[in-house]
A and B are shown apart, each in its own frame.
Chain A
Amino acid sequence: MGLWFELAASGLITGGIYALVALGLNLQYGLMRIMNISHGEFLMLGAYLTWLAHTVFGINPVVFLPVVAIVLFAVGLIVYRLCFRRIARTSPSVEAIEARSLLIGFGLMYLVQNAAYLIWGADMRGYSFLSDPVEIAGARFAGNSLLAFGFAVAASFAMLALLRWTMLGKAVRAMMQSPTGAQLVGIDTRVLHPMVFGAGLALAGVAGALLSMVYEITPGMGEPYTVTALIVITLGGLGSAAGCLAGGLLLGLVEAFGMHFTSPSLKMLLSYGVFIGVLLARPKGLFAR
């Protein structure tokens, strides 16, 4: 019992971190078909801002979270205006939006990552925050990863509720199903698009801020997180808030149990195996609509 609980808890917390990483991209891709490959780079920006605030100015990282969100939201509006607006307006089809936004994402990735290399250098950075273990039912967890897990779950449910029950959510979903139709019934995509994109970056930034408490950070840290995010949102079903959470948690659980019952060497094989297996059985993800 103790063992199972510990494995499950460990898996869920890591899974929560995977879901956390994917939240922002899920919003951008799921709702706007913008394949933002530079997602991880903005996550890195959030992490560096938090690290800077904490180590240089001594600001509590949790208090700083809203600042990160606001800064990245603003960055998102600017990036959208400069890079993606033209694409969203001039592309003849959804496929073209996907393809072109992918290329823009590459450009942004080079740009942001290397700006970070120039500004902060390639060194690993890190600080200690909320790393003391908390005991829950006999098992011990680091406070910072519990916080990240908690945020991932809360944000997922908040997004779910927002999309399902509010006017804004209806507008966004309408936009997703038919951009032209949405415009016809009076939804202004010119306002909604930048907002959604900004919200996506804000979520990426907050995820980065939370991760900087748990792991060490480098300017190149974004790429693997982008990959994780892509896997998680595809596994869950693109654009589905519940799917994103479920996908992340599933991967975390598979890894924890797999590691214990087989060998940690097989960890990557198992997670990719499960991912591919799920997609073969359900070609549009767990929560396909």
Chain B
Amino acid sequence: MSRDLRRMLGLLLAAGVALATLPWLASDFLLSLALTCLMYVGLAVSWSMFSGATNYLSLATSAFFGIGAYVTAWGFETLPYAVVVPLGGLVAAAFAALVGAAVLHLRGAYFAVLTFGLGELVRHAITYGEKTYAKTVGRVIADAPETTTVYFTVLLVAFLAVAVCAAVRASRFGLALAGVGADEERAQTLGVNTRRTKILGFTLAAFFAGALGAAMAVRWTYIEPASVFNPFIGFQTVLIAMIGGAQTLLGPVVSAVVFSLFSELLRLQFPYAYLMLLGLLLIVLVLYLPGGIGSLFKGRWARA
């Protein structure tokens, strides 16, 4: 383990511990605000780990998230929350491995739109299956865990996502992913098994999105395909990661927090026009800071 990585993980751990005290300090509202931030930290960082490095723009995040949520919907009555969350991640990862093998030869916009289509396909498949076999489309979650429990869980998953991504970036596997992004054919000639690298990266990213979906789902009492496969979750993830600078680690983290807090602040302060303000800011940001928030961090942090 390199010194940079160790320092990074140490810092992360300190941040995690600090954040873990929040339930005793903050109100319910601040806690759920922190929850939203952490959810997007986890989603954006894991998305960047694969899509940022390889330049394969995936819109499948909402599919993974929704699959995770549905694992909770189906399993929550019989399994404990602590099992459901990793299970949600595993199911999403299995799905990603399966489809990754089939679709990762597509490139550019074709890959992006196809991954979006996959999300919709899963959503409609679940709707159809639930309707036909369970005679309903939504599931009610009774006796949901306390907000504090959900918060700790999401904190843990987000923490793991950042830690794993940091480790991946420092590893041979991370270099291979970046190699795919820089020049796939050259990476292949240099002996990287690009196909396996891509599938593995895609799967790993899916695990975190799925686990986050499974963890968050208990918050909404009623789970239905339209709300948990909301394509907006996927779009927002891409947006956050790209504003942050998807090639960096810290960029998406900072961006997720800033974006979530900022849009909430605007929403509460300007209840009618806040999305227009958000849109304007976004445009200005892209025009004048094209490298993303990550490009503001120089030196070691840019690489870390």
Contact = CB atoms under 8 A, between A and B. Distances in A.
Interface stretch (A61-69, A195-203, A278-286): A278-286
B117 A108 contact: no
Contacts of A135: none
B116 A114 contact: no
Interface stretch (B40-48, B123-131, B168-176): B123-131
Secondary structure dominating the interface of A: helix
In this complex, which of B272, B276, B280 has the most chain A Cβ atoms within 10 angstroms of its Cβ?
Answer: B276
Q: Which 4 A-B pairs have the closest CB atoms?
A: A110-B279, A111-B279, A107-B282, A107-B283
Given A103-B286, A268-B124, A118 B117 contact: no
Nearest to B120: A272
Contact of B276 (A96, A114, A227, A231): A114
Contacts of B109: 29, 35, 98, 234, 238
Contacts of B25: none
A86 B283 CA distance: 11
Contacts of A102: 238, 242
B297 interface: no
Contacts of A86: 287
B240 to A, nearest CB: 10
B110 A279 contact: yes
A193 B282 CA distance: 23
Contact of A100 (B116, B128, B278, B290): B290
Nearest to A265: B128
A284 B125 contact: no
Interface in A258-282: 265-266, 268-269, 272-273, 275-276, 279-280
Contact of A98 (B108, B118, B272, B286): B108
Contacts of B103: 276, 279-280
A106 interface: yes
Interface string A110-122: 1111110010000
B273 A83 contact: no
Nearest to B181: A95
Interface residues of A, number: 44
B276 A100 contact: no
Given A95-B55, A114-B273, A103 B121 contact: no
B279 A283 contact: no
Interface residues of B, number: 41
A269 B124 contact: yes
A284 B109 CA distance: 10
Contact of B273 (A99, A118, A284): A118
Given A35-B109, A83-B283, A279 B290 contact: no
A87 interface: yes
Interface of B: 55, 57, 102-103, 105-110, 113-114, 116-118, 120-121, 124-125, 128, 131-132, 231, 235, 238-239, 242-243, 272-273, 275-276, 278-283, 286-287, 290
Contacts of A90: 290
A109 interface: yes
A93 to B, nearest CB: 10
Interface of A: 29, 35, 83, 86-87, 90-91, 95-96, 98-100, 102-104, 106-115, 118, 227, 230-231, 234, 238, 265-266, 268-269, 272-273, 275-276, 279-280, 283-285
B259 to A, nearest CB: 11
Contacts of A118: 272-273, 276
A96 B275 CA distance: 25
B105 A227 contact: no
Contacts of B287: 83, 86-87, 104
28 contacts: A83-B283, A86-B287, A87-B286, A95-B108, A98-B108, A102-B242, A103-B282, A103-B286, A104-B282, A104-B286, A106-B239, A106-B279, A106-B282, A107-B286, A109-B279, A114-B275, A115-B276, A238-B109, A268-B124, A269-B128, A275-B114, A276-B103, A276-B121, A279-B117, A280-B102, A280-B103, A283-B106, A283-B107
In this complex, which of B57, B117, B243, B281 has the most chain A Cβ atoms within 10 angstroms of its Cβ?
Answer: B117
Nearest to B290: A100
B219 to A, nearest CB: 24
